[in-house]
Amino acid sequence: MVLEFARDMQVYKTRQGVQLCADSLAVLRTLPADSVDLIVTSPPFALLRQKSYGNELQSDYVAWLGEFGDAAFRVLKPTGSFVLDLGGAYERGRPVRSLYNFRVLLDWCDRIGYRLAEEFFWYNPAKLPSPIEWVNKRKLRAKDAVNTVWWFSKTDNPKADVTKVLVPYSERMETLLKDPEKFYTPKERPSGHDIAKAFGKRNAGAIPSNLLQIPNTDSNSHYLRTCKMLGRDSHPARYPSDLPRFFINFLTDTDDLVMDIFSGSNTTGRVAEETGRHWISIESDRQFAALSAVRFMTAWDDRSIQTAVTDIEVGRVIDLDAGLSQGPATESPRPVGSVQNQLFE
């Protein structure tokens, strides 16, 4: 089977993937069943204030996001995963937390049939104190610096290899590894389990916890500098590349297919490209989708970037590896490229 995307959906492509400007639900409903290895995404949260990129009301949020969960369940492989990053929120006018992210979790597991493979928590130590009313002004609550990250799977045994995301040993563990018997002398245990021997072997690193401490500090990134140079507004909600990188490395192999259905500035697609995965990113806002191309232009000069972004904005599909535009958006649909076609043959 060869997958085709209409020309007017395509924004740009690379050797490994394609950025689309489209309705994610429509794209998910056209993809072959059991074809995607990983969806990792951060949708607009159920916040009380409306954002420039659009977000649903808390009262409608679970049903709205559930449509995407339904459509994604069909296209995931039996070994596939869906990683969903959701920020916390408060109820309107009250210092009481909204339960919307937990209601999403229950809806997806109880109604759709996902498994909760594991819950993760993304701690952003660089996050500013918020919400202003309850933290800064009245000082009734601590700042909200943790997002819930639900790792959903389609079956009980999704593809996963924690040895691909090992972390550096702690200082204490390094001391133990130098001389396990001297550093730690356990009492005799009925089971005969010797902790010093069990933990005295040096591996490639330590097993990570489900608390991911990743600062979101990209104030001087190539993406932001280039948006400023172009005089364009950058996407206001960007997550750090280390967040999707962790799950892409953990849950996929080289040449697997990764999707982001709310791609924004396309951090996920860029990381998938860097790690040798195929990718499809979908963003409904044409301006943000076009600007995300600069993530793949780190070695380009300013003039070339300006030309390419302008071409993309007027509807030309750019092959970023070849640096070529491929005609106006009004041409007839064609396959997105040999790499993507081979994924579905």
* pLDDT tens, residue by residue, 125-156: 988 888 889 999 999 999 999 999 999 999 99
- Lowest pLDDT segment from 41-50, 150-159, 287-296: 41-50
Q: Report the relative pairing of strands 4-5 and 334-335 from DSSP bridges.
A: antiparallel
**Per-residue pLDDT at 175 exceeds 70:** no
* Exposure of 216 in the CB half-sphere (CA atoms within 13 A): 17
| Choice among 24, 37, 43, 281 that is catalytic | 43
The domains of the chain are located at: 18-167+207-225+240-285, 169-206
Q: Is 23 a catalytic residue?
A: no
- At 127 the pLDDT is 87
- At 45 the pLDDT is 80
- Lowest pLDDT segment from 38-47, 71-80, 184-193: 184-193
Average pLDDT over residues 154-163: 98
- 82 or 239: whose pLDDT is higher? 82
Which range among 191-195, 307-311, 329-333 has the greatest average pLDDT? 307-311
Query: Which residue(s) pair with 41 in the sheet?
Result: 84
Which range among 213-217, 234-238, 332-336 has the greatest average pLDDT? 213-217
- At 186 the pLDDT is 60
| Choice among 24, 37, 81, 85 that is catalytic | 85
Q: Is 42 a catalytic residue?
A: yes
Residue type, 311: D
- CB-based burial label for 220 (10 Å; 0-12, 13-18, 19+): exposed
- At 261 the pLDDT is 97
- 343 or 76: whose pLDDT is higher? 76
**Per-residue pLDDT at 99 exceeds 90:** yes
- CB-based burial label for 264 (10 Å; 0-12, 13-18, 19+): buried
Q: Indicate the pTM of the whole model.
A: 0.85
- 6 or 326: whose pLDDT is higher? 6
- At 6 the pLDDT is 85
- 96 or 170: whose pLDDT is higher? 96
**Per-residue pLDDT at 275 exceeds 90:** yes
Residue 302 pLDDT grade (very low, low, confident, very high; cuts 50, 70, 90): very high
Residue 342 pLDDT grade (very low, low, confident, very high; cuts 50, 70, 90): very low
For residue 40, CA distances in Å to 30, 124, 126, 289 come to 19, 18, 22, 17
**Per-residue pLDDT at 93 exceeds 80:** yes
Question: What mean pLDDT is reported for the chain?
Answer: 85
Q: Give the model confidence (pLDDT) of 101-124 as tens digits.
A: 999 999 999 999 999 999 999 999
User: Rg of the chain over CA atoms, in angstroms?
Assistant: 22
Average pLDDT over residues 214-224: 83
- Lowest pLDDT segment from 217-226, 238-247, 257-266: 217-226
Distance CA 143, CA 163 (A): 33
Residue 309 pLDDT grade (very low, low, confident, very high; cuts 50, 70, 90): very high
Give 18-167+207-225+240-285's CATH code, choosing from 3.40.50.150, 3.40.640.10, 2.40.50.140, 3.40.50.2300. 3.40.50.150
| 55 phi, psi to nearest 5 deg | -155, 150
- CB-based burial label for 16 (10 Å; 0-12, 13-18, 19+): buried
Q: Is the Cβ–Cβ distance between 11 and 290 less than 8 Å?
A: yes
| Choice among 42, 81, 234, 281 that is catalytic | 42
- 196 or 30: whose pLDDT is higher? 30
CB within 8 A of 19, min separation 6: which ones?
10, 11, 12, 13, 263, 266, 269, 281, 282, 283, 289, 292, 293
| % the chain with pLDDT above 70 | 79
- At 46 the pLDDT is 78
Q: Is 179 a catalytic residue?
A: no
Average pLDDT over residues 6-25: 94
